[in-house]
Structure 1
């Protein structure tokens, strides 16, 4: 049976198609589009008209691909960008009318659960770990081990949301950095309190920004063909310092830093650094499997 998962993120829409036979899953096709649905969403808490149209156009393309592959079952999941928008329901209705795709809005808990299932399938969880998925609108955290998860929560501190609210200088100023640090400190108290008792040693980065870190640090690594990979923590810290200190122009010329993430990677690095330092995590692992793979895993 051919199945498909669509992940409507705040920045990027993803489509993955697989052939499922019993417990075996063979990936047939995957793609992503930088839709930027959350563009300027913090201004009026709405999907702006240009982003609305980009989303519809992308899902029309996805609908045609689903037909080409003769997919029999589709699950389309929307997260923070649609969830928090005052016109999110209008977007869902327009998508249904124009593409035939039914969108399911998941709350932060379900989003974290799907991320856990995806990461688990990659084999990245080995011992006590903290999974972190930095999205555009929200960031999910899951404390877990191979047996299951013990705490999970979604926070509205996605890279696009932080960028729109705090990133006012180029390169980012000490004042902007301090404002972000204060915001993270105020927002993530519960995460840090639980984490200090849980004592995880490994940070597992779910796709997204962590794929960018990996690609920049190890250009020979084909992240499209592997489920997981280690990220050298010392090399990561050197990279994060470089990213935070650089201008937009300098970052735009860095190899393997895609245009969508040229500015958001600064926010991602600041979130990553905050979590690493406050929880004394000793190593980083990339999981290329994320929410969309978790959606596929749960489909029957």
Structure 2
């Protein structure tokens, strides 16, 4: 027989704010974000991410290998203790490009469902872009409120370079005006253009030209729509901003990447010559081998969209998922 619950304990449980959680099954990394929803705001209580590189386990036929799935399941087993206190209706798990591409994804999804007891959504590229924009917009709004300078009519180009895809969004306030996901990823480009692990000007330019070719169909429409500010989110762009800041590259701020800074970083990477030699102050070692490919994609973005600078914002897919969960609880 179950012992009767202490009234004081029951009262504490009833008064506890809803705990929300988002898991992003990315092509390069898996991320978990847990937050309490109270006073109409999200209070972050846990944040964890691990490199899994699902996209590296995809063969040319779209088969995801056993080793990649095993890495993913091991990572999720470490996420599980952080989900204590999260009810099923307060958790959302989303898969992105690598799972969109994997023709045997259902076997992996079933293993995740068995371990976590929760369904997994493999979202479309446009849905991923929408959630990325939502996360970035909220992060920018929080910063603007802190600066007392919120401008809802300020138009932004937001981009997120992932392991298997890159999302581009133009929006105002919290509303996206244009959404697009492109097949440009730091993991897939590493396999395609840096397979021998050497970093040369030729390899960098081949990757840049491939990215420019992919962006050709998007470029004119986005330039016509226009924006006042370019924003980048997530790991690749965060790493570029951190490396440039740590290296003392001249610029308008530590979260801002300039065209001049990109040229300098490209030169430094070519001087390193090999992926195993990519050791830079400010760069997480887990990201080192995919960093040159990520910089080639970012360099092409600067070229295609005629950017002079790009600002990093700390809000992306998982934050967007959490904010949408918060709206549901409202």
Q: With structure 2 as the length reference, what TM-score do the two structures score? A: 0.81
Q: Is the 8 A contact 1:244 1:269 kept in 2?
A: no
Q: How many angstroms does 1:105 deviate by? A: 0.7
2:246 equivalent to 1:231: no
Q: Is the 8 A contact 1:40 1:48 kept in 2?
A: yes
Residue number among 265, 287, 303 corresponding to 1:261 in the alignment = 287
User: Hey, which of these two has a bigger chunk of helix by percent?
Assistant: 2
1:175–1:252 CA distance, 2 compared to 1 (3 A): closer
Q: How many angstroms does 1:263 deviate by? A: 2.4
2:288 equivalent to 1:271: no
Task: State the match for 2:5 in structure 1.
Answer: none
Task: State the match for 2:24 in structure 1.
Answer: 7
1:203–1:257 CA distance, 2 compared to 1 (3 A): same
Task: State the match for 2:93 in structure 1.
Answer: 76
Q: Is the 8 A contact 1:209 1:268 kept in 2?
A: yes
2:315 equivalent to 1:298: no
2:59 equivalent to 1:38: no
Q: Is the 8 A contact 1:215 1:256 kept in 2?
A: yes
Deviates more, 1:275-284 or 1:99-108: 275-284
Q: Is the 8 A contact 1:5 1:74 kept in 2?
A: yes
Task: State the match for 1:122 in structure 2.
Answer: 139
1:58–1:164 CA distance, 2 compared to 1 (3 A): same
Secondary structure at 2:55 match in 1: coil
1:160–1:232 CA distance, 2 compared to 1 (3 A): closer
Q: With structure 1 as the length reference, what TM-score do the two structures score? A: 0.89
Q: How many angstroms does 1:214 deviate by? A: 2.2
Aligned length: 291
Q: Is the 8 A contact 1:142 1:152 kept in 2?
A: yes
Q: How many angstroms does 1:60 deviate by? A: 1.8
Secondary structure at 2:255 match in 1: strand
Q: Is the 8 A contact 1:5 1:295 kept in 2?
A: yes
| CA distance in structure 1 between the partners assigned to 2:139 and 2:263 by the alignment | 24
Q: CA RMSD in A?
A: 2.3
1:181–1:240 CA distance, 2 compared to 1 (3 A): closer
Task: State the match for 1:153 in structure 2.
Answer: 180
Task: State the match for 1:96 in structure 2.
Answer: 113
1:130–1:89 CA distance, 2 compared to 1 (3 A): same
